[in-house]
Amino acid sequence: MKTFILSLWNVVMEHNHNPLKHIPDIQVRHIVLQVLAWMWCIIFAMSTGSITVFGVSAVAHALVIAGIVVTVATFQTARIQPNRFVSLARGVGGEHE
């Protein structure tokens, strides 16, 4: 069951496993995923008959997806350009510069 849930998660949320992997720009992938999330928020809100549900659901989806995208982008940057994070560390003398 754990493998099944993990594979479903990967198909929807993991950019290397879903069809959005063919979009080269991660920012475009992000907006497409946001639009899909908002679409599902609207569908859920309309099925329950509550506009309040839409607002809560849309904000929750936006936060979760944005967090995932920032994490993936950070990991990709760390893999491709690890020196971009050097300025966040201490200076040569051991202090912040």
Structural domain contains residue 39: yes
> Given CA atoms 87, 89, 91, 96 in this order, what sign does their dihedral have?
positive
Domain residues for 76? 24-88
Higher pLDDT, 89 or 8: 8
Q: Please tell me the pTM assigned to this model.
A: 0.47
Is residue 8 assigned to a domain? Answer: no
Q: Is residue 67 part of a domain?
A: yes
> Distance between CA 39 and CA 96 in Å, rounded?
46
All residues at 6 or more sequence positions from 66 whose CB lies less than 8 Å from its CB, including other chains: 30, 34
Residue corresponding to tokens 């754990």: 2
d(CA 97, CA 41): 46
The pLDDT tens digits for 72-94 are 888 888 788 877 766 665 656 65
Per residue in 59-69, pLDDT (tens digit) is 888 888 888 88
Task: Indicate the number of domains in the chain.
Answer: 1
Average pLDDT over residues 12-30: 77
Q: What is the dihedral of CA 35, 29, 16, 39, to 10 degrees?
A: 0
Looking at residues 28-55, what average pLDDT do you find? 80
